[in-house]
Amino acid sequence: MLSTEQKRGFRDNGFVVLPDFKSSAQLSVLKARAEEIAAAHDFDASQEVFSTDQQRGPQADRVQDYFLGSANEIRCFFEEQAFDGHGKLTQPLAQSINKIGHAMHDLDPVFGDFSRGDKLAELARAVGLRDPQIWQSMYIFKQARIGGKVDWHQDGGFFMTTPGSVTTFWFAIDDATLENGCLWVEPGGHKGPLRQQFIREGRKTKLIDLDATPWPDTSTAMPVEVKAGTLVCFHGLLPHYSAPNTSDKARHAYTLHVTDGACDYSPKNWIQKRKKSPGSKDFPVRGLL
């Protein structure tokens, strides 16, 4: 799956770019399914906006519950700029959704097919995951003009294991360019410390500062402009961010966050899964096959 050079690149730079990992037919099927889920979203029942500003605002508890409830369900979140000052959508619903999360890989057969298979399992082995476990899936729409930026962060802080193992699989569903808000990474930045940890305490979550090392900026980072179908696989400590989408077309991407079951998964992580029990909707964490 990975050449010696690609394995070295992953080790030294913290990421590897694999063009044509998915076929255009596979991309079309996933995109159509994501758009179907978004179109079926019950807007009246949940006018939640997934933004840190909202989470600090008066709606904080409602937004927080909606977010936490998405850990093992399929829920839609809105772009921060999707609403005017009166809470009305400024554009059609289908162009207002920021993302779908966070358990499509377990609950939706189309997403399940896309998220598993020999090719992915082989790649996971090549980057050192002995017993891959998928904790989270996100379908990101990055809508035209209003698709917001995602600040610098490390995914390792959201899925802590001992030792650290989370690895991100980032699939470009559309071409990702500078203009439409492609991923930026800091090559080699995964050798630095974990700066923050996102934990759950009851019905609350918090971001704890662990290390004061500054985040990179675009002078030391590089953009990862890739064609649709490319998979960018990166280390949990790799700092990354994406700029707003200033173009007139959406830029879809799909991500999976995968840890190694041979490592201890922190009970403080916001997503927990339980063994299926009679009468409950719980289900256990599953791998890539």
Please report where in the chains the tokens 């009851």 appear, as a residue: 202
* Among the listed residues 48, 108, 155, 186, the single contact to Fe ion using CB under 5 A: 155
Is the preceding peptide bond at 102 cis, omega within 30 degrees of 0? yes
Residue whose CB is less far from Fe ion, 41 or 132: 132
Binding residues for Fe ion, rule CB under 5 A, total: 1
**Distance in Å, CB of 55 to Fe ion, minimum:** 17
CA distance 112 to 122: 17
DSSP designation for 123: H
Part in contact with Fe ion (CB under 5 A); list of ranges 21-29, 139-147, 153-161, 241-249: 153-161
Residue whose CB is less far from Fe ion, 83 or 152: 152
Region of 123 please: left (phi>0), alpha (psi -120 to 50) or beta: alpha
Q: Which of residues 93-122 bind Fe ion (CB under 5 A)?
A: none
Whose CB is nearest to Fe ion? Answer: 155
Give the amino acid at 146: I
Pairing of strands 222-224, 183-185: antiparallel
Part in contact with Fe ion (CB under 5 A); list of ranges 11-19, 60-68, 148-156, 275-283: 148-156
Residue whose CB is less far from Fe ion, 257 or 273: 257
**Distance in Å, CB of 24 to Fe ion, minimum:** 25
Q: Which of residues 40-59 bind Fe ion (CB under 5 A)?
A: none
Residue whose CB is less far from Fe ion, 155 or 174: 155
**Distance in Å, CB of 216 to Fe ion, minimum:** 14
| CA proximity to 186, closest of 226, 216, 151 | 216
Alpha helices, H only, the chain: 4-13, 24-39, 52-56, 60-69, 104-107, 109-115, 118-126
**Distance in Å, CB of 153 to Fe ion, minimum:** 6
Region of 210 please: left (phi>0), alpha (psi -120 to 50) or beta: alpha
**Distance in Å, CB of 224 to Fe ion, minimum:** 12
**Distance in Å, CB of 186 to Fe ion, minimum:** 13
Structure tokens at 183: 């991923």
Part in contact with Fe ion (CB under 5 A); list of ranges 2-10, 69-77, 99-107, 147-155: 147-155
Part in contact with Fe ion (CB under 5 A); list of ranges 105-113, 150-158, 196-204, 260-268: 150-158
The answer to whether 98 and 77 have CB atoms below 8 angstroms apart is yes
Give the amino acid at 212: A
Residue partners of 104: CB distance under 8 A and separation at least 6: 37, 74, 111, 112, 115, 137, 139
**Distance in Å, CB of 168 to Fe ion, minimum:** 6
Residue whose CB is less far from Fe ion, 133 or 242: 242
CA distance 286 to 269: 17
Distance of alpha carbon 13 from the chain centroid? 20
**Distance in Å, CB of 173 to Fe ion, minimum:** 16
Residue whose CB is less far from Fe ion, 41 or 221: 221
Part in contact with Fe ion (CB under 5 A); list of ranges 74-82, 151-159, 184-192, 193-201: 151-159
Q: Which residues bind Fe ion (CB under 5 A)?
A: 155
